Amino acid sequence: MPENVSNRSRIWVVIFVLLIAAGLLYFLMPASRDRVVVRTAPVDRQALISTVATNGRVEPLVDFQAHAPIASVIEDLPVKLGEQVQKGQELVRLNATDARSKIVAAQATLIGAESTLKNMQAGGSHDELLSERADLANAQAQQRDAARALASLQALQAKGAAAANEVAAAQQRLADSQARVAQLQSRLQGRYGVTDLSAQQAQVNEARAAVSAAQIGLSALDVHSPIAGTVYALPYARYDFVPAGDPLVNVADLHHLQVRAYFDEPEIGKLMAGERVVINWDAKPNQTWHGHVTQAPTTVITYNGTRNVGVCLISIDDADGQLIPNINVTVRVTTSEHFNVLSVPREALHTEGNNNFVYKVVNERLVKTPVTIREGDVNLTRVGISGGLQQGDIVALSATTDVDLSNGMRVKAQS
């Protein structure tokens, strides 16, 4: 019995000591009862870089696109896709049979028109001139006969052997023959007037233009590159039939490219010529190209029927021949860049009307602290601060539980 009593006494002593220890711990550490665990971050100096990203399409600065001038068959195709070509090198040759026949027909028309003009300027063709000269000679012979007949009758009339009416009839025949001679001489010397010659000259000019057009059409069937570059599109093969107007070949200098990028309307005010750009292509995810804005948007258009965008031109500064025209790329433009800026995470910033503030952690309590934001020093993750905080201050981001932060709240900081 005494031994059992002794054991029970010891147990009660231990329980009593534990209760006293628990009570002392409760009263000695009151702060641990009501402190809210919050995530915190220090106020420090960083580089604040703001960017905007969008999609774009690569296009060459120097580009040559040839189209079929007529419906024809590809007679020869001396280049291959991806081949480097020199200025003046032959790219495509179309069948020229029809074009050559058109040149022959146009030349024949020109020869005829020029011959007609030459004859008109000379007063007629060789046969016409011979005929008119013969008519003139006959008329002149008739005139001489009429003159002799009149002279003979006039001599007889003086002797009283011819009547006056006979002399008058002879005089009329002479006058008629003289008029006929004058008419034939005038026709022989100026058969065609200025209007006739001008009309025929117009036909000659038209025929010459037709010959020139036919020759140009023939030369257009043999396509040569006006630039040095790379063949990046070749939709047809040798002996294929090509409809008029269809593309034949595309050549571009792949070391001089630009991106036509489409920025949503709220972002275009941030874009300026000269801003740095990073370019990515999904087909080569491990490579990056660089460029700069050459032309900021000047107007807003509807893109793909759903977006109001501004078109921005971006030069690719390190194009290495791997980017090709018409591919879709992603561009990221650096719109502002400031270094050694005192800043806080955006999550720490709170706004009431026009006032901005943070909760600074001071002696394990939150202190509502008004702050001034540096204009332009805001990006997706941080905000530049020009007043209200110092480097090394600790600010609260959020509670780890569903609790709203408030001024004076007791907290336990968690980095």
Fold match flag (52-61+253-337 vs 63-93+221-251)? no
Which long-range contacts does 241-246 make (Cβ < 8 Å, 24+ apart)? 241/71, 241/72, 241/73, 242/68, 242/71, 242/72, 242/73, 242/74, 242/94, 243/68, 243/71, 244/68, 244/69, 244/70, 244/71, 245/67, 245/68, 246/67, 246/68
Sorting pLDDT into bands at 50, 70 and 90, what band is 290?
very high
pLDDT at res. 147: 82
Q: Is 205 helix (H, G, I), strand (E, B) or coil?
A: helix
- Cβ neighbours of residue 386 closer than 8 Å, sequence gap 6 or more: 342, 372, 373, 374
For 252-266, how does the pLDDT look when each residue is reduced to its tens digit (9 = 90+)? 999 999 999 999 999
Fold of the domain spanning 63-93+221-251: OB fold (Dihydrolipoamide Acetyltransferase, E2P) (2.40.50)
CA dihedral 394, 400, 402, 408 (to 10 degrees): -30
Distance of CA 64 to the CA centre of its chain: 13
CB of 279 closer than 8 Å to CB of 320: no
* Cα separation, 178 vs 336, whole angstroms: 102
What DSSP letter does each residue of 157-200 carry, written as one string? HHTT-S-HHHHHHHHHHHHHHHHHHHHHHHHHH--S-HHHHHHH
Neighbour-count burial for 208-225, b at 16+ CB within 10 Å, e otherwise: bebbeebeebbebbebbb
* Cα separation, 332 vs 278, whole angstroms: 5
Structural domain spans, the chain? 1-34, 35-48+339-414, 52-61+253-337, 63-93+221-251, 104-215
For 116-135, how does the pLDDT look when each residue is reduced to its tens digit (9 = 90+)? 888 777 766 556 666 767 77
pLDDT at res. 30: 47
For 234-246, how does the pLDDT look when each residue is reduced to its tens digit (9 = 90+)? 999 999 999 999 9
Its pTM stands at 0.60
Percent of the chain with pLDDT over 90: 56
Fold of the domain spanning 35-48+339-414: 2.40.420
Burial of 295 (0-12, 13-18, 19+ CB in 10 A): middle
Sorting pLDDT into bands at 50, 70 and 90, what band is 13?
low
Choose between 197 and 17: higher pLDDT. Answer: 197
Tell me the CATH number of domain 52-61+253-337, given options 2.40.30.170, 3.40.50.300, 3.50.50.60, 3.30.70.980.
2.40.30.170
* Cα separation, 301 vs 311, whole angstroms: 8
Average pLDDT score over residue span 264-282: 94
